Structure 1
C-alpha cells in the first residue's frame, strides 16, 4: 500500500531538501502545496502565501499558505511540514483536526537551540504547541531530539534520521585537484561567515600566493564578494547561484571546503548540508565551530574558533600537504557513503513513518 502524504511548504523552502527526501521514501506518494514547482516525483499544487513580513525565515516563516482548506482529508494518510514554530505547521495541525478522518501528522525539525526565543512570540508559540499532538517528530540532527525533550515533548513521538546526500551525484573527481583552490558554497549572509573566509584567504596568500577562493551562492553580502572579485590580485571569484550539478563540478575541482558560521539571536548552525556535499566529493573541511555542526564535521577535519588567523592556519594545513588532503578526503567520502547516502537515509525516514503507522493500527 502506498503512503499518501500532503506536504505543506514554507514560502521560501529550498529545493532538494526535506520535501525531496519525503518524495524519495519508499512507497510514498507526495502532494505538495508550494509556491515553486518542487524537484522530484511530486504532485504540485501551486500555492500563494499571506505573508505580512519577510523575517524569521530560518526559524519559521511568518506566512500562511492559501488553499490548504480545499484539500480533502480522505485523500491523505499524512500531513507534514517543516519546523515546529512555522505558521504552516500550525495550519497543518488545525487542518488535520477539523474533519472526522484525522490524517497522521509529521513535523520535520532541525531546531537545536534549547531555548528558542521565537517560542515566546505568540503565533510561533501557538504553532509549537500544536505540534504536541503530532504523531511523528522527525529530527534531522541528534540535537533536535534533545531540544524536543527539553521543551516537554514525549520521546515516543521522536525519531532521529540524519539527512542524506546524493553520493552518486556528489562524488570525487577522477583526478584530485592540483590547484590550491578553496571553495565556499553557502548563502552569502553574515551568519555563514563569508567575510571571515575572505579575511582568511588574504592571510593564506601570504604563504601560498597562488591560492584562490571560489564563492558560490547569493545573499545580502554579495556586494562584498563582488568587490573582492573585482580586484584581480585578490584571488577571489564569484560563481553565483549554481544548480546541483554546478555545485558538484565546483567541489570536485577544488582542494578544500571552507565556511565560517556564527550564531545569531535565533539561529545556530544545525548540521550544514554543504558540509555533506563537500565531504561526499572527497574534500577536507575547515570551518568554525558553531552550534551542532560537529554532527557533520568530524576530526581530522577542522572545527576552529571564529578567527581569520585560525581559519588561515587550518586552510594552510591542507593546502600545503597533498597526502594529508587526500587521506582526509578519502575518509570523508567513506563516511558519507556509510552514514549519509541519500537512498539509505530516505529509506530510514520511510521506516520511521512506517513504525508510527504500525503503532496506530
Structure 2
C-alpha cells in the first residue's frame, strides 16, 4: 500500500502492516519541524510517528530538503527522494512570450502564514520605488484574505494586487501563461507543485529559499539571498531590465521542468515498489 502523507493516511497502513507492507510519501506538514503552528501536535504525536515510520517498507520525501528535515527526526532511517511531477502536455509555454507593461507577477498558494504573502505585497511597494510598474496576481484562498487586503490599502498598492480567489484546475494552465514571472515567498515547502507548473509554462521563478528549490532552480530563476521584500523587488528588476536574460530564463524554465515530468516520477515509484516486493520475496 502506498500512503501519501505520513499522517493520518500512513497510520491506517500501519495498523495492517503485518499482512500488507506499506510505503510512505512524505509531503511537508507530516514531517515534524516543518510547520511552526503544529509544534505541540508534533510533540504529542512523535512517538506514534516514529512507530509508523519505523514499520514502513520504504519512505520517500518529495525533495532533498524535506528528506533532510525528516532525517533530523529519525536519523537512523533511510529516506529516499522522489520529486513531485508535472504534466508538460497540459502546462506548456506560450510561444515567443515577451515582457509587457505592467509586469504581471503570479503566485499560487493558500493564503496562510507559512506562505508569507505579506512579503510579496511589500515587494510590490518596493518595485514602485525602483521605477517599475507591476501587477501581483494571487491565485488561492485562505484565512488571511482580510488581513492581506488591509495591508494592500495601508501600503497604497491595492490597485496593483489582485486577489483572484480559487481558480478551477482546468483554468490554471492559461493563468500561468497570462503572467510574466512566478514569485514565491514560502517559509517551507515539500516541493512546490505551483512552481513546477509555472516552470513548465515558461515562467522565470523568483523565490525565497525553502525545501525543493535546490532541485527546481538552476538557470531558470533567482533564489533571493535573504527573506526580504526589498530583495524580491530587486530580483524582479534584474529580469525586467534585461530582456535577453528574461527570455533565456523563461526558456530554461521549460527545459528544467522536463526533468520532472510525471512519467519520469512514476518510473521512480515503480522502482521503489519493485524493491519492496523483491525484499519481501527474499
Same fold (TM over 0.5): yes
Give the drift of 1:161: 1.4
The alignment status of 1:278 with 2:198, answered yes or no, reads: yes
| Greater relative CO (CA pairs within 8 A, separation 6+) | 2
1:290 pairs with one of 207, 210, 231: 210
SS in 2 for 1:96: coil
Partners in 1 of 2:54 and 2:40 — Cα distance? 17
2:263 pairs with one of 343, 346, 357: 343
Asked if the contact 1:119/1:128 (under 8 Å) is kept, the reply is no
Partners in 2 of 1:221 and 1:175 — Cα distance? 36
Give the drift of 1:145: 3.7
Partner residue in 2 for 1:56: none
Partner residue in 2 for 1:237: 162
Distance change (3 Å), C-alpha of 1:235 and 1:170: same
Partners in 2 of 1:138 and 1:232 — Cα distance? 42
After superposing the two structures, state which structure 1 stretch, 146-155 or 239-248, moved more: 146-155
Asked if the contact 1:108/1:139 (under 8 Å) is kept, the reply is yes
Give the drift of 1:182: 0.7
SS in 1 for 2:16: helix
Partners in 1 of 2:265 and 2:197 — Cα distance? 15
Give the drift of 1:122: 3.4
Distance change (3 Å), C-alpha of 1:298 and 1:110: farther
Partner residue in 2 for 1:122: 44
Partner residue in 2 for 1:212: 135
The alignment status of 1:136 with 2:53, answered yes or no, reads: no
* Structure whose alpha-carbon radius of gyration is higher: 1
Partners in 2 of 1:115 and 1:192 — Cα distance? 16
Query: CA RMSD for the aligned pairs?
Result: 2.7
Distance change (3 Å), C-alpha of 1:145 and 1:207: closer
SS in 1 for 2:159: coil
SS in 1 for 2:207: strand
Give the drift of 1:229: 8.3
The alignment status of 1:163 with 2:88, answered yes or no, reads: no
Partners in 2 of 1:220 and 1:136 — Cα distance? 36
Asked if the contact 2:126/2:230 (under 8 Å) is kept, the reply is yes
| Matched pairs, number | 270
Distance change (3 Å), C-alpha of 1:178 and 1:344: same
SS in 2 for 1:326: helix
